[in-house]
């Protein structure tokens, strides 16, 4: 038997990454491009998306930048249709945008609740739905949504964020069930604590930062780049029989016991 890395290659594939300007989205774009995909780097921050795309091109990959707000249904439809019309396919979707308002539930306002739900859950739904329609027609594709360890374990101040991340898992499972007969796979990645702009508040407080480091089995935070491998895996033929699954990439956080109450 010949051993080959071809299972993990994405040559000739077209990928759309939402949130590609920074953090996990940027790591996703770089990882997919490194595996051979043409990557559309989408973000509300066009300059950041272009910087990511330029970095891919400088490294010998193929990428384009586009401005995209995933909560804008008409913009999502237009972006997806543009890619489909040009390339006749979208093989991979990675959606990473999220927001968190760290407050105890009794202090939450309705507007804050709507803000978190609107991006984390509705935005993810809109872009997954639009891309899934293309994939269903082509009878192939991999959709990767980003949940969190907060879908399984929560702490004070994370209630609404955690609710959206738990909801994303059920959304992915429902899509997996509905799209499976068409050959489209849908999975979630659930990271632990990752150094991204979203976690800057925690990183700036040494006791909080150190407590989170001690909370997982590896004793450290993840780098955004450490999400690229799992993303490429779920996008590639190496995961051809995996759908409706949740891959925890959390350094063992959900495997061990411990607790920290953050200063909110």
- In this prediction, residue 228 carries a pLDDT of 98
Structure tokens, 133: 């329609």
19: exposed, middle or buried (C-beta count within 10 Å: 0-12, 13-18, 19+)?
buried
Exposure string of 139-168, with b = 16+ CB inside 10 Å and e = fewer, is eebbbbbbbbbbbbebeebbbbbbbbbbbb
Question: What's the CATH code of the domain at 84?
Answer: 3.40.50.720
Share of the chain above pLDDT 90, in %: 86
**Looking at 32-36, 126-130, 184-188, 256-260, which range is the least confident one?**
256-260
Look at residue 161 and tell me if it is in a domain: yes
Average pLDDT over residues 76-103: 97
- Listed residue (203, 163, 199, 193) closest to 258, CA to CA: 193
241 included as an active-site residue? no
Look at residue 132 and tell me if it is in a domain: yes
Mean pLDDT of the chain: 94
Average pLDDT over residues 75-82: 98
Look at residue 208 and tell me if it is in a domain: no
- In this prediction, residue 262 carries a pLDDT of 66
- In this prediction, residue 200 carries a pLDDT of 75
Average pLDDT over residues 97-102: 95
Look at residue 238 and tell me if it is in a domain: yes
- In this prediction, residue 258 carries a pLDDT of 63
What is the band of 1 on the pLDDT scale with cuts at 50, 70, 90?
Answer: very low
Q: Per-residue pLDDT tens for 101-138?
A: 999 999 999 999 999 999 999 999 999 999 999 999 99
Look at residue 85 and tell me if it is in a domain: yes
- In this prediction, residue 206 carries a pLDDT of 85
Q: Are the C-beta atoms of 164 and 190 separated by less than 8 Å? A: no
Look at residue 129 and tell me if it is in a domain: yes
Look at residue 62 and tell me if it is in a domain: yes
Residue 7 has pLDDT above 60, yes or no: yes
Enclosing domain of residue 20: 10-197+225-247
Share of the chain above pLDDT 70, in %: 96
Structural domains in the chain (count) = 1
Look at residue 173 and tell me if it is in a domain: yes
Residue 212 has pLDDT above 80, yes or no: yes
């Amino acid at each position: 038997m010949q051993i080959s890395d071809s299972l993990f290659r994405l040559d000739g594939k077209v990928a759309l990454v939402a949130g590609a300007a920074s953090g996990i989205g940027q790591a996703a774009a770089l990882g997919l491009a490194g595996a051979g995909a043409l990557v559309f780097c989408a973000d509300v921050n066009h300059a950041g998306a272009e910087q990511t795309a330029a970095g891919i091109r400088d490294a010998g990959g193929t990428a384009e930048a586009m401005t995209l707000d995933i909560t804008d249904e008409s913009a999502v439809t237009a972006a997806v249709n543009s890619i489909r019309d040009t390339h006749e396919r979208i093989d991979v979707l990675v959606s990473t945008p999220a927001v968190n308002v760290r407050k105890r539930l009794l202090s939450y306002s309705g507007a804050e609740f709507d803000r978190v739900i609107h991006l984390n859950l509705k935005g993810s739904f809109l872009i997954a739905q639009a891309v899934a329609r293309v994939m269903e027609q082509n009878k192939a594709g991999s959709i990767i949504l980003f949940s969190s360890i907060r879908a399984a374990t929560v702490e004070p101040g994370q209630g609404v964020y955690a609710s959206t991340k738990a909801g994303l898992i059920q959304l992915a499972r429902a899509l997996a069930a509905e799209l499976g007969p068409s050959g489209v796979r849908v999975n979630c990645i659930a990271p632990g604590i990752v150094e991204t702009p979203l976690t800057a508040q925690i990183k700036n407080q040494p006791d909080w930062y150190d407590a989170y480091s001690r909370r997982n089995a590896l004793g450290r935070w993840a780098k955004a780049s450490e999400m690229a491998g799992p993303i490429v895996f779920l996008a590639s033929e190496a995961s051809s029989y995996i759908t409706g699954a949740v891959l925890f990439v959390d350094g063992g956080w959900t495997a061990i016991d411990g607790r920290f109450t953050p200063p909110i």
